[in-house]
Amino acid sequence: MESEGILLGMGNPLLDISAVVDQGFLDKYDVKLNNAILAEDKHLPMYEEMTSKFKVEFIAGGATQNSIRVAQWMLQIPGATSYMGSIGKDKFGEEMKKNAKLAGVNVHYYEDELPTGTCAVCVHGGERSLIANLSAANCYKPDHLKKPENWALVEKAKYYYMAGFFLTVSPESILLVAEHAAAKNKIFATNLSAPFICEFFKDAQEKVLPYTDFVFGNETEALTFAQVHDYKTESIPEIALKISQLPKASGAHKRITVITQGADPVVVAEDGKVKLISVIPLPKENLIDTNGAGDAFVGGFLSQLVLEKPIEECVRAGCYASNVIIQRSGCTYPEKPDFK
């Protein structure tokens, strides 16, 4: 199999500033656990405060970039994955490049004058809340994508993944790649990513959904999606089924919806049927934090999808990867995977 550059991701490269915080800090900044939001003015002081008040770790993040890094780790095939997004010309940006190289991902960053984007990861009782200050990540433009050396990555790839978060930055770039995928019968995957994407970026999301062959998400996002689209149900299997049956731009592949539910089974809707697949149980005391768990699930899943493995195997790999990541801080992993 010709695997060089088989999987391409595009998204918001962010440096995670991660710390275990107290309830007072969450309340002060009006932050809810198990949520992801874009920073408003009131959140901007929190990055400094976290750094001075708590023990922080700086970890290369950004949802799509995490998934691509995990897929690369699972595959252990040099250069199998590529990634594009926008970073700043600063030390965080340099850190990001170094990290991507170490991970073996072929990155083509656009470099902007603004500082590299950051994401506050507030961990409390093992749960996480994400507050993203996009900064440079918000500056990605289709012009960068259209440069021959970058579009070459699109031409080469057979699988594409872009988390929903990129809808807030460059829906135009997403559609360029999505339309290419549909025209060439390639596989395009996305993620509901966060309740606010489903609520406030509904129109952009609806334009992309017809091109998607795989839609990932968690139960909270699925419930928000169902509310916004007036599905009149809170049953995750039903919602997953409805998403899988939304109209499609190309008939070459049927859409498959994959919804994770934390420790509960993964819901897979395909071809008018729903399967529930159990996750690997983890004793509470082994849980470090859930940051990157959903990203890792997608990364593990995609690593087997590009090898053309059956969906059950893809889910099993997703569960394996997320199980590894929740026992570590942030979206980090040991040197080699132990997935059999």
DSSP letter at 194?
-
Catalytic: which of 22, 143, 295, 338? 295
Residue 155 is which amino acid? Answer: E
pLDDT, residue 250, reads: 85
pLDDT, residue 1, reads: 59
Global pTM reads 0.95
Read off the pLDDT of residues 49-73 as tens digits, 9 standing for 90 and up.
999 999 998 888 999 999 999 999 9
pLDDT, residue 143, reads: 98
Instruction: Beginning with the edge strand found earlier in the chain, give each strand of the sheet holding 118-124 in spatial order.
Output: 35-38, 127-133, 118-124, 14-20, 57-61
Report the Cα 180 to chain-centroid distance in Å: 21
The closest alpha carbon to 62, from 9, 125, 128, 5, belongs to 9
**72 phi/psi in degrees, rounded to 5:** -60, -45
295 is an active site residue: yes
pLDDT, residue 97, reads: 92
* Alpha helices for the chain (secondary structure H): 23-28, 46-53, 63-75, 91-103, 142-146, 148-156, 171-183, 195-200, 202-208, 219-228, 236-244, 293-305, 311-325
Question: For 55, left (φ over 0), alpha (ψ -120 to 50), or beta?
Answer: beta
228 contacts 206 by C-beta, under 8 angstroms: no
pLDDT, residue 284, reads: 85
**Spans of the chain, pLDDT less than 50:** none
